[in-house]
Structure formats: structure tokens, C-alpha cells
Structure 1
């Protein structure tokens, strides 16, 4: 037993983070003297046409599989997929069987979060958008959530420990709790205390909806703080009313007071539809549960070839496949032996050969984010 319900990295690396039936399968195959060479593919949808999703989690998958006597090809992290395999493993089945559970978990959860974050990114492409949702998930996966959000192109995140893991600094200024600790009527004291205490590198963002009307608190914050970069409105839905109208009122008041330099930041239960509606009246957004609580992509790993012979379970497409991005942004799935589309770019690339990472593979966050930006533009992801 441990104090926290967290599976350790060692347990993941040595294959203990598996489903029990893989242990039973190992016992059975070993007893039967069977360990065929197979090709297995990680796939969500068999055919294209179900809609693009964003692949993430490849870095963790690569570290999981490195050292096993297998060959692995993958769609690079940060590329969009629409049917067909995103990863292919070749090797003797018992050499990787018990790692299926962790492999699918790495890819499924991160890809779901990244896809949701891309929905948000494309809804407000010119706005500052931060990931605020780590509080909605188990803390052991906060770094996965924040990394996936960055892969999709979000501008930052809130979780401090995730920042330590990723080598990035977390963002954030003040919660309602800070203002409430000073009490009703003492908002100015809270804002001034913050301004006088935190490092100068931290943006001066005043939370302006704790006790009174948003316009009233914004004007008071402007008077109270010598430096004010932005005001944040995080009004609860039960008191929000027409949020767009409130934001427009705040902008009107700021401009009328000669404070066009003060930005407006909105947060609180927002999703892509909200950002589309508000992106012309707010300068930035904090998005929480829509990203962090995203449904995982329903990946499965299926054997599609045994000892060189194509085959698969009922309902799955047998035989080794390739996937392509065409010049007009479409996604095509073909048999590996079939000709490639005339203008097709093969998406599956070598990742691991005989247990070793292929030279030159770039698993960095920056590289993945750059691929996302390029692929989303090519495929028209999120276009209305």
C-alpha cells in the first residue's frame, strides 16, 4: 500500500501496469511454446472520414517501448489523424504483450486532451489561451494534461509541479480566496498586497468580480494599482447573466477612463463556443474542464499480421497499412503494398528499431507544437 493511489514509474516501465489477462496470456503461450512474430497496429477508426483528432503521448510511448526487441513506426506527435493506424509494432508477441495497457493509456488520454485543446486554440486563434484545468484531474497526470495543451498550441498553464516536469513556468495570479481573505470592502487592500508582494515579472492581473458589480470592481482596481496589466472576470454562471454584455461593459468603462492599455481576461467554465462568441471582446481566456476532462481517444491495439500472413479479429481490417496526408489536407488509409497517393505524404515514420530510438527523432514539445500548427492549417481544422 502507498499513501497516494499512484502507479509508480517503475511499475509502468517493467510492465506491471497491465491488465491481468495479459499475464494469463503470457503463461498460456509460454506453456504452449508459442510466440509468433506479429505486426500490431494502434487504431481508433478503421477508415477515414470520422473527423480529425490530434495525436499526443508519443514521447511517453517511445520511452515505454525503448529497450524492448521490437520495431515501432509512429505518426509523429502533433499530427492529425483520421482513421487507420497511428502506431505500428513489429516483433515477437510476448516481447511487448504486457505493455499494451500502458501504451494505449499514454496515447489515448493525451490525444483526447490535445484534441480538446486544439478545439479551443482554433476557436480563438489570436487570443491568449491558458490551460486552467489541472484541478479537475488526478495530480499524477497534471503534467500530461499541461503538455498536451501545449502540444495543441495553448499559450500556458497553471500547474506548478507540471511546470517543473516540463521545464516551463506556470502562469496565474490570484484566486477569489485571496480577496475573500481580506473581506468585503477590502478588495483594494487585496490587490495592493498582491502588487507589493509578488515578483515584478508576474503580470498584474486583478480579479474583479468577488463581491460587487464587475465594472465597479474593475474601476476600483484601476485606481488601486499603479500598474495593472489586465483584469480577470471569473463570475460564476449563476450570477453571470449575459457574459458577453458584461465584458463589453467593462471594455467600455476602461476605454472611457483612458485605460485602453488594460486587457480583459475571461475564465470560468468556458469552451470553444464561448471563445468564438467572446474573442472580440476579451483579450485572453483561461479554459479548464473542457480541456482537462476531455474523453480519451478510444484506441485499440490489434494484431494484423502473424508470421507474415495478414489477419485480424472480426470487425478489424487485416494486413499492414499505411496512412497518408494528401496535398489538399485529406487523410487516406491504404494497404502497405498498394501505391501511395500521387501527392501523399506518408505519416508513419520509424521510431524504434530493434529496441533503440532511431537517430534524429525529435520528441520535444516544441517540435510537436510546430507540427500541430502546420497540420491544423493544412487540414483546415476548426474552420467554421
Structure 2
């Protein structure tokens, strides 16, 4: 019914570029299936521009059951060059899986990096992932899981509850307000309050028909804990001034405890501009529309001997986090740099997934790494 590559096609290796099938045919015809070491990289050498690694759980499930070993840096690790994953085994075991493997890592890591940019813009402010509506629904769960991996506080897509420990967040859209008609905002807010579960936060949308300050005060007087401003860009003007005026009006009328949340076109720059006058943000397209990272998979060793195409670094490698927050790349059989912590960890052994994927631990790792490397410091 929908233009979605089914899970079975991914698992069976049919979600692949055609030339990998030609490669299989050629190698099988020639009776060749060398044991190789292949590495997934974004940049060969450290660049100083860090990204956040994500998508590893799906990548591991893709490779599971094949006669190979794999190592990878853990999800949430920040990197700026060198391998993020290493695969060792007969090449035909994973030849046709390369397309899907890179897609799993590239898209999720791009989204997680953008989410971490938002997180770093306001480390102590509530941030929710509102980006599912901007992407194909088949990857909505990827968006919200990657955002939570980067340390966001919540997500909006109900289906993502299957991948993320927690319940989807969200209260009311403009459509609900419009269904009750102009001048009937109180009726809409009361109906919402009476209908939805008491565990759902009482956040009133306050910009549908009248002035934001007016609607916010009216909602506060009904007992709502918070208000959300999602003012259309064409009507927004000086959004900071609108928010400050709303805060002033609420405080002046004795509603100092009513929080203000904002959404609509929120970026890290917006967050930095508004975080001192806002209690939380819904961040959508900045996260969901992030460019995938440009990963590549290259053979670097064949039958125990270094091998690589022109422009790539041959030989099996290790990557390290250095005491100064840097990222060191060296051959695997070389001594580690002084004080360097190796980043690669076992992922698959003899076809079995041996790593665990804890989203909270990944988020803690991303936060700690971001601080350590000075990620996107303003």
C-alpha cells in the first residue's frame, strides 16, 4: 500500500545497490571469497568537527547471524574522524548489506548530531522532539530515538513508544481549537481538561485567534499549568518580545507558576535567544531534516595484509579519546597514546550480538562527550 521497503527486504539484503549483487556473482564465479577487514568511516583523519554516533542497534541487528565479527564505538560517542565500526569476516557474508548498513548509521547519526546541537543550546531547558511530521512515517521512530539518544527530554510520535522507553508527549493542536470556533477557546480548553487522562500535562495552546497574552491569561485563569505559543512565522514579528509580554501579563495577574513553552521553526539559535524567557521548546525540522552523515565502508585489510583504495588509509585501526578531548587514530597493533581511552567495543562475535543498547547510557555518553570535546560551543 505504501512505498516502504519491507523489513524482510532489509534483512535478506535486497535493500542494496545493484552493483553489490554483481560483485557477489563475479566473486562466486571466480571462486573468491577473501577474509577482509572493512571499516566504516566519515573522515580519514581528525577534523575537529565532531558528530554524534547513532543507529548502531539497527546496524547490529542487520549483521546478526552472519559469519563475522564486528566492533564499533558506542552510540552517543562523539567522533571527528577514523573508523566508527569495523567488520571482519569473509567478504561475501556482508557484501550486499553495505547499503542498508550505511543508511542505518548515516541517517540516525545526522539526526542525533542535530538534536545534540539543540540540547547544547540550552542544557537545562526542557526539549521535546516534534519532528515526525517532517519525515516519511516509516522512519519517525528513528527520528525520536535518535533525538532521545542526544539527550532530549521527550518525543511526540506515538509509534516511537515501541523504540523509546516512555510515553509520547503532546497536548492540543490548532485544529482542536478551530473545531470549537472563534471565541470559544475556553470551551475547547475545558473539554480537553475533562476528556484527557489526568497524567497528561495541562498545556493550553494560546495563539489561535486572539493575542497571545490574552489567550494565555484566559487559560491560566482556567487552571492550566502551562501555555504553548506556536505563533505562525508570518505573524510572529519580535517573538522574544511576545514571550516576554506574555510572561509579564501572567506574573502581573498572579500566575507566576504558569510555564511558557514555544514551538514552530525552533533552531539552536532560537533556543539560545529565548531560553532565558522560555520553560521549554518543541524542536521539529531542525532535528528531523538533518542531513545524513556521509559514511563510507572500505576494505582496509585482505587475507591479513593491509589493503585500501587510493585516498583511504590501509590497515586495521583503533580510535582513542585523548585526555584533552581529542580523537586519536592509529593502527590497531600500535601502542595507544598516553592516557588515551580506546573507543571501539565488541559488537558482534561469530554472528551473535554481544553489545547492549541502553538509550539512557547513550544520552549520558553524548552529554559527557559534548562537554569534553567542546561540541558546538557558541
Q: TM-score, normalised by structure 1?
A: 0.97
Q: 1:3-38, CA deviations, whole angstroms, 9 ceiling, x for partnerless residues?
A: 011111111111111111101100000001111111
Give the drift of 1:167: 4.0
Using the alignment, how far apart are the partners of 2:218 and 2:175 within structure 1?
Answer: 18
Q: Does 1:379 find its partner at 2:377?
A: no
Counterparts of 1:186 and 1:43 in 2: how far apart (Å)? 56
Please, which runs of 5 or more residues in structure 2 have no aligned partner?
none
Q: Would you identify which runs of 4 or more consecutive aligned residues in structure 1 move more than 4 Å? A: none
Cross-structure match for 2:235: 239
Query: What is the CA distance between 1:157 and its match in structure 2?
Result: 0.5
Q: Quick one: distance in 2 between partners of 1:267 and 1:120?
A: 13
Distance 2:318 2:57 in 1: 21
Measured against aligned partners, the alpha-carbon deviations of 1:293-322 in whole angstroms (never above 9, x if no partner) come to: 100000000011111111211111111111
Distance 1:105 1:262 in 2: 43
Q: CA deviation at 1:162?
A: 1.2
In 1, are the aligned partners of 2:145 and 2:163 still within 8 Å (CA)? no
Q: What is the CA–CA distance in structure 1 between the aligned matches of 2:281 and 2:99, rounded to whole Å? A: 35
Partner of 1:211: 209
Report if the CA contact (8 A) 2:128-2:155 is conserved: yes
Match of 2:21 in 1: 23
Residue 176 (str. 1) matches residue 177 (str. 2):
no
Deviates further, 119-128 or 165-174: 165-174
Any idea what SS the aligned residue of 2:100 has?
helix
Question: Normalised by the size of structure 2, how large is the TM-score?
Answer: 0.98
Output the aligned Cα RMSD: 1.0
Query: Are residues 1:186 and 2:184 paired?
Result: yes
1:340 and 2:348 are equivalent in the alignment: no
Runs of 5+ in structure 1 lacking a partner? none
| Cα distance change of structure 1 residues 351 and 164 upon mapping to structure 2, 3 Å threshold | closer
How far apart in 2 are the matches of 1:122 and 1:302? 33
Q: How many residues align?
A: 378
Alignment partner of 2:281 out of 282, 285, 294: 285
Deviation track 1:316-358 (CA, whole Å, cap 9, x = no partner) reads: 1111111110112111111222221101001111111111123
> What is the rounded CA distance, in whole Å, between the counterparts of 1:184 and 1:239 in structure 2?
18
CA distance in 1, matches of 2:334, 2:163: 43
Preserved CA contact (<8 Å) 2:115 2:150: yes
